[in-house]
Each structure stands twice: as C-alpha cells, then as structure tokens.
Amino acid sequence: MVKTINLKKTSKSELIELIRKLKRRKDDQYFLQENGKPMAVLISQTEYEKYREEQRLKAVERLQKLRSEVHAQIPQDISEDEVEKDIIEAIHEMRGVKC
C-alpha cells in the first residue's frame, strides 16, 4: 500500500505505529509531506535493502560498460606497463605533483 502522510497532522505516536506496521506489511510505503512538499519516504528495512542492492547492481553494470568502452579505445600495441605509467602520470597531473 502506498500512502501519503501529512506530517503537520500526524502525531509521533501515529508515526511510530506506521513504523511498526512496516514490520508486518513490508511492501507498504509512506510518503511523508509537510505543507504539501515531499520530505521523506518511509519503507521497510527489507524494501530498503532491495533498493540498495538494485542500485549496487546498476552501478556495477555501468562500471563494466565503461570499462569495456575504455578497453575498446586502447590500442592493442600498448603494453600494460605503458597504460599504468600513463594512469600514474594523469593522477599526478590532477594532484599537481611533478614526476
């Protein structure tokens, strides 16, 4: 169940009861608003963990795609040592360190 909660009209005890409900009804979501403006979302720990795992998997997927794109741009005749040297030089350059 998705429900919008007006914080101005909700007591602390009612918010505590919503939190307790999330233990039983793990799919419930409460959108907390104040003066009609979104403030927060209240979800169960289970739903939060699912969300975090989805975000982690998406980040890994983006990183793998980026890695593949970078590898595709590296000429095949450049050694790993040369690539490593270029990376170290770029890091030093960004940090303002002279090699």
Number of domains composing the chain = 2
32 shares its domain with 64 = no
Q: Please tell me whether residues 20 and 35 are part of one structural domain.
A: yes
Same domain, yes or no, for 54 and 89? yes
Kindly report the backbone phi and psi dihedral angles of residue 45, in degrees, each rounded to the nearest multiple of 5, phi listed first. Answer: -60, -40
**Looking at residues 33-60, what average pLDDT do you find?**
95
Q: Are residues 27 and 56 in the same domain?
A: no
Same domain for 59 and 89, yes or no, is: yes
Say which range, 8-17, 68-77, 87-96, has the weakest mean pLDDT. Answer: 68-77
Q: How confident is the model over 57-89, as pLDDT tens digits?
A: 999 999 999 999 988 887 778 888 888 898 999
Instruction: For residue 2, give the 3-state DSSP assignment.
Output: strand
CATH code at position 14: 3.40.1620
Residue 58 shares a structural domain with residue 83: yes
> How much is the pTM?
0.62
* Structural domain span for residue 83: 47-95
Query: What's the rounded Cα separation, in Å, for the pair 87 and 83?
Result: 6
